[in-house]
């Protein structure tokens, strides 16, 4: 199925092709995507409504998150991700648990490598937990949260040493889900997100060196 202009632009933002502060020009996007300007204009309007884009004079630019918005986003993400882990411990099939276990193990080959590759692997891992919750409304809300995460210019995996710690945390989360311990899974995932937020704050403050 061919992707529409909205999906293509959103994916480009999520992939970092367009970063916070980048100006999006209707004519340039239409040419790049190989579509007419009308669907691009409609897509840009939709993304502006969703606060993915903002106005800078007459131009539309990719939005960025200030400190308060970042804190608000992580507060919501922490609770929703924790709930997803709790529900996954209750509802995940044995097959879904084995997939999570293989992801946690196989992603370790990425240690010390490209932070962007680790970030993509991290998104796949979390998405798998969302799906394993078997709650479509929760999955929808988490999709919105993760869409907004694309408005952060740097991944916390760029911080030196964060990859090893984060993947160890993934292992703890999966072990709790596999043990059907909802409380432990909830707490493990909340702790994981809290530490990621702390890492991001320290990156912004210039306290951590980036790889």
Write out pLDDT tens, residues 101-157: 999 999 999 888 888 888 889 999 999 999 999 999 999 999 999 889 888 867 787
Domain boundaries, the chain: 5-62, 67-204
Percent of the chain with pLDDT strictly greater than 70: 97
Residue 211: what pLDDT?
A: 60
Residue 74: what pLDDT?
A: 95
Q: Which CATH class is domain 5-62?
A: mainly alpha
What dotted CATH number matches 67-204?
1.20.120.530
* Averaged confidence pLDDT in the chain: 91
The band of 29, judged by pLDDT with boundaries at 50, 70 and 90, is very high
CA 34 and chain centroid, separation: 27
Residue 1: what pLDDT?
A: 56
Given a contact cutoff of 8 angstroms between Cβ atoms, the answer to whether 157 and 118 are in contact is yes
For residues 159 and 121, the model is more confident at: 121
Residue 153: what pLDDT?
A: 64
Beta strands in the chain (DSSP E): 23-24, 53-56, 59-62
């Amino acid at each position: 199925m061919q992707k529409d202009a909205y999906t293509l632009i959103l994916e480009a933002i999520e992939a970092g092709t367009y970063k916070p502060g980048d100006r999006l020009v209707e004519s340039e996007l239409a040419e790049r995507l190989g579509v007419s300007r009308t669907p691009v204009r409609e897509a840009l309007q939709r993304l502006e409504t969703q606060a993915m884009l903002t106005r800078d004079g007459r131009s539309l630019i990719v939005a960025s998150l200030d400190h308060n918005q970042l804190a608000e986003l992580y507060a919501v993400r922490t609770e929703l991700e924790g709930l997803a882990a709790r529900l996954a411990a209750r509802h995940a099939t044995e097959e879904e648990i084995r997939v999570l276990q293989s992801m946690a193990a196989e992603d370790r080959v990425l240690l010390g490598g490209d932070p962007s590759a680790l970030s993509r692997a991290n998104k796949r891992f979390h998405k798998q937990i969302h799906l394993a919750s078997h709650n479509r409304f929760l999955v929808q809300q988490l999709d919105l949260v993760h869409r907004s995460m694309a408005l952060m210019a740097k991944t916390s995996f760029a911080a030196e040493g964060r990859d090893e710690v984060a993947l160890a945390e993934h292992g703890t989360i999966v072990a709790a889900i596999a043990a059907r311990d909802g409380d432990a899974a909830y707490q493990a995932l909340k702790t994981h997100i809290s530490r990621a937020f702390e890492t991001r704050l320290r990156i912004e403050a210039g306290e951590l060196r980036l790889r």
